[in-house]
């Protein structure tokens, strides 16, 4: 078991009173500490590092393109590699997509998607369509509009009064159904709540509905009922509202398909890609946009009014092309499906059920709830306390997990995710399971002493 040293931090991101173990490097699925400790990384840059750390092909791609050209003014010139990448992205995406544009983070791609939806209606002479609708317990990045569109209560809290207004429909997480229903007897009330919200706001005022096909940070890998997303898509089409799929965490084979919306044959109007799009080797994100959005009104406006310094980066394109090349034969996605099933199966079997329940997910996006009732005195502590404790217990057992809270309404409900590299082996899946089981038992023991 590894001891965690606590030191003061000078970065604005860490809690001032504590600093985790110092990391020197990464090797494949492992982070390597300054003291030589190897941590199996099931956080992977929040799911970005699909090929793990220190991947030579990714490093070479970035190095080679950086020597030639990293940035250029994309309003005045074109670039062969950027065009090639846009075409490759469109080939990889849902068939109806007809344009691609790249940015540098999931948050700025979400922001761009919202602006694109607004510009689409503005150009179509429907300037009153200004509302973006979201859902409870969701996360769409950290900008004022993106955080506003999301329903992650704890992350919104310090900014609540200035966030972009956004009415929320119910989420679609069956284990915490907002209508108190069992999956078998529900009539998709969560999808109906999207339509009810549209009707309350007035369909003529709504520009877009934004959803994560499988909710990540806010609910830890919660896939909806298979009928849900097709129904939401139908509702949006009926009211001439754009459907934005935020696939920042679910894109690029993380869930075993190129995009999570493909599990249910849904073709959104705008698809937001991030994280795995560069396998973590360049700050890259993208929007894929269908004909409906770019042809017609927006074509008359000539371009999307949203310039950004790192948009259309050739360095990002080179990294992105290498990722696409490696995903092309489907073997990485197939491994994600196989290893994900193995991991969920062994977690369900081996983890102490009184502490961990509702193991879920698709591909290698794997999540579960942490039940505070397993502890002697659960009420006295703040939400997120036990996911934090569990994260530390896992770290002591050499495993990095992605812990969060808020799955049971407001800030209540601790949960966590495992986001391993998609190239993970059976042996490493077994290692992750053993470390997590040991951490769960450690936590039960220390907290209930």
Kindly state the smallest distance separating residue 420's Cβ from ligand PMP, in Å.
Answer: 16
Among 335, 355, 354, 332, smallest CA distance to 343 is for 335
Among 241, 254, 285, 287, smallest CA distance to 94 is for 287
Phi, psi of 336 (to 5 degrees): -60, -40
Kindly state the smallest distance separating residue 259's Cβ from ligand PMP, in Å.
Answer: 12
* Residue 248 binds to ligand PMP (criterion: CB under 6 A): yes
Kindly state the smallest distance separating residue 109's Cβ from ligand PMP, in Å.
Answer: 8
Kindly state the smallest distance separating residue 222's Cβ from ligand PMP, in Å.
Answer: 12
SS (H, E, C) 381-439: CCCCHHHHHHHHHHHHCCEECEEEECCCCCCCCEEEEECCCCCCCHHHHHHHHHHHHHH
* Residue 212 binds to ligand PMP (criterion: CB under 6 A): yes
- CA atoms 3, 9, 15, 17: torsion sign: positive
Q: CB nearest ligand PMP: which residue? A: 106
By three-state DSSP, how is residue 133 classified?
Answer: strand
* Residue 274 binds to ligand PMP (criterion: CB under 6 A): yes
Name the residue nearer to ligand PMP (CB basis): 288 or 374.
Answer: 288
Window of 53-61, 242-250, 394-402, 430-438 that interacts with ligand PMP by CB under 6 A:
242-250
Cβ atoms of residues 151 and 164 within 8 Å: no
Rounded CA-CA distance 79/60 in Å is 20
Q: Put the strands of the sheet holding 356-362 in their side by side order.
A: 356-362, 365-370, 414-418, 402-405
**Residues 75-114: x/- map of binding to ligand PMP (CB under 6 A)?**
------------------------------xxx--x----
By CB under 6 A, the residues from 131 to 150 that bind ligand PMP are: 139-141
Name the residue nearer to ligand PMP (CB basis): 170 or 404.
Answer: 404
Kindly state the smallest distance separating residue 140's Cβ from ligand PMP, in Å.
Answer: 5
Kindly state the smallest distance separating residue 110's Cβ from ligand PMP, in Å.
Answer: 5
- CA atoms 395, 375, 224, 411: torsion sign: negative
* Residue 216 binds to ligand PMP (criterion: CB under 6 A): yes
Name the residue nearer to ligand PMP (CB basis): 245 or 355.
Answer: 245
Note the residues at the interface with ligand PMP (CB under 6 A).
46, 105-107, 110, 139-141, 212, 216-217, 246, 248-249, 274
């Amino acid at each position: 078991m590894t001891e965690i040293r606590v030191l003061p931090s000078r970065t604005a991101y860490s809690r001032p009173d504590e600093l985790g173990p110092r990391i020197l490097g990464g090797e494949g699925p492992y982070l390597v500490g300054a003291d030589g400790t190897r941590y199996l990384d099931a956080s992977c840059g929040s799911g970005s590092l699909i090929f793990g750390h220190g991947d030579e092909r990714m490093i070479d791609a970035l190095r080679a393109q950086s020597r030639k050209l990293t940035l250029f003014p994309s309003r005045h010139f074109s670039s062969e590699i950027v065009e090639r990448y846009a075409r490759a992205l469109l080939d990889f995406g849902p068939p109806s997509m007809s344009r691609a544009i790249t940015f540098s983070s999931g948050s700025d791609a979400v922001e761009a998607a919202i602006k694109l939806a607004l510009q689409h209606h503005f150009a179509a002479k429907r300037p009153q369509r200004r509302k973006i609708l979201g859902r409870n317990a969701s996360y769409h990045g950290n900008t004022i509009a993106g955080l506003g569109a999301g329903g992650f209560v704890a992350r919104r809290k310090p900014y609540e009064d200035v966030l972009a207004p956004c009415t929320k429909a119910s989420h679609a997480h069956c284990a915490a159904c907002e209508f108190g229903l069992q999956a078998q007897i529900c009539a998709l009330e969560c999808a109906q709540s999207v339509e009810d919200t549209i009707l309350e706001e007035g369909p003529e005022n709504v520009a877009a509905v934004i959803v994560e096909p499988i909710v990540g940070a806010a609910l830890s890998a919660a896939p909806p009922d298979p009928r849900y997303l097709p129904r939401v898509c139908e509702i949006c089409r009926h009211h001439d509202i754009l459907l934005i799929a935020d696939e920042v965490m679910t894109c690029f084979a993380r869930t075993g398909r190129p995009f999570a919306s493909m599990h249910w044959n849904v073709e959104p109007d705008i698809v937001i890609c991030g994280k795995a799009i560069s396998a973590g080797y360049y700050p890259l994100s993208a929007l894929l946009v269908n004909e409906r959005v770019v042809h017609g009104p927006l074509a008359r406006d000539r371009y999307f009014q949203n310039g950004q310094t790192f948009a259309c980066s050739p360095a990002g394109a080179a990294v992105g092309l290498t990722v696409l090349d490696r995903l092309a034969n489907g073997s990485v996605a197939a491994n994600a499906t196989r290893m994900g099933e193995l991991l969920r199966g062994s977690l369900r079997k081996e983890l102490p059920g009184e502490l961990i329940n509702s193991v879920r997910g698709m591909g290698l996006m794997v999540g579960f709830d942490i039940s505070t009732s397993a502890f002697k005195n659960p009420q006295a502590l703040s939400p997120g306390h036990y996911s934090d404790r569990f994260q530390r217990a896992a770290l002591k057992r050499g495993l990095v997990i992605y812990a969060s809270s808020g799955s049971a309404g407001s800030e209540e409900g601790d949960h966590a995710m495992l986001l391993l590299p998609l190239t993970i082996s059976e042996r490493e899946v077994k290692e992750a399971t053993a470390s997590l089981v040991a951490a769960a038992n450690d936590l039960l023991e220390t907290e209930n002493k």
